[in-house]
Amino acid sequence: MFATKVGILIVALKSLIVAQAAFVCNDRHVLETTQLTTPGSGRAVTVEKFNCSNSFPTGELASDIPAGTGTATQVSERAASQCTTSTCVCGVPCFFQGCGPVSEPIHGSDCTELGDTLMSNPGTFTITPPVGVAFILETCTYSFLGPSIPTEYCFDDMGAAALELFAVCGPTQQGSCGGSSGSTEFFINQISL
């Protein structure tokens, strides 16, 4: 009897995690497109600012388990020197929310190169509501979304979260993590296009 209840609980928890694994953007509308060049290979990373017809996720984050290990300390140490605004969330840990199925195949090398490219950029980027930003390299996309106020985030934190999501979810799944600082919440999604 106990084993059956535990099995049902595990199935229910897996369903909950998958249901919250990634934000789906309905009627995605690209507002601006720019390019970043990857160091080494010279491949172009497409940077898209976009909005959706549905709202970005808000409310309580699904999990308090950090994506990967060791990141929280490292990003907190970098945060103070990189922020240029009072609404900066550099250094705020991104807590793992789950993995789910992909709609299109993801090539692992695209995701790791994209994460490495973002980590090697010492700058920050800012998004204004209700806009998200997507970083795209071939088959892999990482998006940053959800703030209700203009929000600044560090490229290297984005890269660290991207690599940790890929390490957990791999190329056969997509996943997300989220964080908050005060009333500012953000979400990072690994998605297939």
For residue 47, count CB atoms less than 10 angstroms from its CB and return exposed for 0-12, middle for 13-18, buried for 19 or more. Answer: middle
Whole-model pTM: value is 0.77
pLDDT of residue 36: 87
Q: How many CB atoms lie within 10 A of CB 192?
A: 17
pLDDT of residue 47: 96
Decide if 147 contacts 127 (C-beta within 8 A): yes
Domains of the chain, residue spans: 28-192
pLDDT of residue 42: 80
Count Cα neighbours of 166 within 13 Å in the Cβ-side half-sphere: 23
pLDDT of residue 185: 81
pLDDT of residue 17: 31
pLDDT of residue 102: 86
Tens digits of pLDDT across the chain (193 residues): 433 332 222 222 222 233 344 567 788 899 999 998 877 678 899 999 998 887 765 544 444 444 444 444 444 444 556 888 888 889 999 999 999 988 888 899 999 999 999 998 888 999 888 889 999 999 999 999 876 788 899 999 999 999 999 999 988 898 999 988 877 788 888 875 5
